[in-house]
Amino acid sequence: MKCTRCRASAEINLRSHHAAFCRPCFILHFQRQVERTIKRLDMIAPDESVLVAVSGGKDSLALWDVLIAQGYQTSGLYLDLGIGQYSAHSREKVERFATAHNIPLRVVTLAEEAVSVPTAAQFTNRVPCAACGLMKRHFFDQYALEGGFKVLATGHNLDDEAARLLGNVLHWQTEYLAREKPVLQPTHPRFVRKVRPLYRLSDLETAFSAFFRGIDYVVDECPNSAKATQLTYKDTLNALEAKMPGTKLSFVQEFLRSAQPLFVAPDGSAPRDCEVCGMPSFAPVCSFCRLVQEVERKQEQRQTSLNPQPTPSTDAAALES
Amino acid sequence: MKCTRCRASAEINLRSHHAAFCRPCFILHFQRQVERTIKRLDMIAPDESVLVAVSGGKDSLALWDVLIAQGYQTSGLYLDLGIGQYSAHSREKVERFATAHNIPLRVVTLAEEAVSVPTAAQFTNRVPCAACGLMKRHFFDQYALEGGFKVLATGHNLDDEAARLLGNVLHWQTEYLAREKPVLQPTHPRFVRKVRPLYRLSDLETAFSAFFRGIDYVVDECPNSAKATQLTYKDTLNALEAKMPGTKLSFVQEFLRSAQPLFVAPDGSAPRDCEVCGMPSFAPVCSFCRLVQEVERKQEQRQTSLNPQPTPSTDAAALES
């Protein structure tokens, strides 16, 4: 197979694009796709500093790499979720990448700042992914605000977008559909713009980008993700894509073009400041702080039940009498 | 497993309903579901005659059976599509059913009235299912009008609805989504109300209903359907349903409840009368008549090329000279 662009021997065949690329042309294709997406949707102004949320996986590191290559001022934000060896390995990869590129990286250890994901899941009724998502959103907002950033970029790719869209469509979660955009403008002065420059690039494309650019990323999936419904939706879409190449891209693109504007987020009341952390919240205490409080309360209860306080016992009463 | 209703031994387990039924209780469940759907959505008034479009398959015969059992005045409409043995068998089943119930049945043979589905597909660029759908819609409307019916019922079940919805959602065909309703009110005085009383009942439920009620239906699928994209969507939804029982029903129900009202059919101009058949059309000649004309034209062209008219040949010219 020949490269569609330069007729050299191709290394990757993109059925959904009806194109094949050699290594240098694929890297160019990937960078141009990201560049066009950023410009077309006004994701990042040329003089803006970008906070890049990095997990150590192929997507977020490929995103960071392409933003650096395109000359954006970037800083990394890594959340150590406390998920055993998986977190240890991913932290290593991210730290090495930042050091090699001499770019600032903020590492936040959830177990120190709040609670680790496994602890949150253990002491509450949440599945790990729900607790993880909630804490990620909180720390992304908090550190973007503290660092004075106007924009936060995440590595969500086309497969992530399509799977999320399918899940929201199967349940017709109209409020989520209203917010399902590759650029989310802040709804409060303490929030920042959130952008997903890879939303049109597939899992395969981000993997090849990371591989061709020599990025050392954590290959293992998060051990919690095996049970995640999101993976079921990804499998579903992969099966459809195999039969009908281009399904995922047209599903997401056509949604954004013709259906997304029909879904309107409810106006609701303006958020107040969370009494605990000060971040915007619709309740007196934000859901992140409520999660942390719930874990602390249950940890205390367990501690108490394991080491009960001495109470006047019948034996003591007998001794006294 | 016990029947959820009467505690007798169950014969069918409906995971999506968290219920199991013995034979009599399942028949009751099926009939009640249809009855409630008809009443809740004002599908058929008690005194209205219903034209039931029957294919000879389990769904349409189970529908006809339940409508008869509930005392509706019904007539059957069977279109003989001209698809070889499949059409011959299904016609037999439908005729036997009508005779056994002593209910009027109108049989329309497409090859006599217009063109058969295989001929339409052969002489045009359409896939058989597209030609078939177009002709069905035409004859349903025409015979409902001629028979003085106000309502036409079809046997589309939950699996059909969910597959169609998934297809329309994957491509975000907003005009189709606007019309995707179990009750379609007529948009022209020559059209009738179209209702789908089985839209909440699954493939499994209609099959068991037909089986338990002793209905003799054609088991084979239409030979053209093997290639139909619709089957891919059904497989996709079945895989999701197996992992998450109830997915299909909530996908369709929640769509109708919270998303469908957002999709609005474009107003457009009022249809005129087709110059050929007189049915409503947005073009001078309706798409059904254009299809028939196209087939006739191409058949004539083929005839001409096989038996060319004698023209003055060079040999004849040579003889004359």
> What is the mean pLDDT of each successive set of 10 residues along chain A, which is 321 residues long?
95 91 96 97 95 97 97 97 93 97 96 91 87 93 96 97 97 94 92 97 96 95 82 95 95 96 80 92 93 92 79 49 41
B16 contacts in chain A (CB < 8 Å): none
Choose the closest CB to A172 out of B171, B172, B259.
Answer: B259
Query: What was the pLDDT predicted at B266?
Result: 74
Write out the H or E segment, with its range, that includes residue B109: strand B105-109
Chain B residues with a Cβ under 8 Å from any Cβ in chain A:
169-172, 174, 229, 232, 236, 239-240, 243-244, 247, 250-251, 254-255, 257-259, 262-263
A170, A247, A250, A253: which to substitute to probe chain B, counting the most B Cβ within 10 Å?
A170
Q: d(Cα B86, Cα B108) in Å, to the nearest integer? A: 16
- How many other C-beta atoms are found inside a 10 Å radius of the C-beta of residue B119? 17
Would you report the helix, strand and coil content of chain B in percent, each value rounded to 5? 55, 10, 35
Query: What was the pLDDT predicted at A127?
Result: 85
A161, A166, A169: which to substitute to probe chain B, counting the most B Cβ within 10 Å?
A169
Q: Write down the ipTM of this complex.
A: 0.85
B172 and A251 in contact by Cβ < 8 A?
yes
* Cα nearest neighbour of B255 on chain A: A172
| Residue B321: pLDDT band with limits 50, 70, 90 | very low
Fold of A24-272: Rossmann fold (3.40.50)
Specify the CATH class of B41-219+230-261 in words. Answer: alpha beta
Query: What was the pLDDT predicted at B312?
Result: 53
B165, B168, B170: which to substitute to probe chain A, counting the most A Cβ within 10 Å?
B170
A172 and B232 in contact by Cβ < 8 A?
no
- Please write the tens of the pLDDT for every residue from B177-235: 999 999 999 988 999 999 999 999 999 999 999 999 999 999 988 888 867 789 999 99
List of long-range contacts for B201-204, beta carbons under 8 Å, 24+ apart: B201/B30, B201/B33, B201/B34, B201/B157, B201/B158, B202/B14, B202/B16, B202/B157, B202/B158, B202/B159, B202/B248, B202/B249, B203/B157, B203/B158, B203/B159, B204/B12, B204/B14
A244 and B251 in contact by Cβ < 8 A?
no
Closest approach of chain A CAs to the CA of B254, in angstroms?
Answer: 6
Chain A and chain B share a number of CB contacts under 8 A equal to 54
Query: What was the pLDDT predicted at B311?
Result: 56
Q: Residue A183's beta-bridge partner residues?
A: A195
Segments making up each domain of chain B, as ranges: 41-219+230-261
B229 and A250 in contact by Cβ < 8 A?
no
* Reduced 3-state DSSP string for chain A: CECCCCCCECCEEEHHHCEEECHHHHHHHHHHHHHHHHHHCCCCCCCCEEEEECCCCHHHHHHHHHHHHCCCEEEEEEEECCCHHHHHHHHHHHHHHHHHHCCCEEEEEHHHHCCCHHHHHHHCCCCHHHHHHHHHHHHHHHHHHHCCCCEEECCCCHHHHHHHHHHHHHCCCHHHHHHCCCEECCCCCCCCEEECCCCCCCHHHHHHHHHHCCCCCCCCCCHHHHHCHHHHHHHHHHHHHHHCCCHHHHHHHHHHHHHHHHCCCCCCCCCEECCCCCCEECCCCCHHHHHHHHHHHHHHHHHHHHCCCCCCCHHHHHHHC
Which residues are CB-neighbours of A17 under 8 A, at least 6 positions away? none
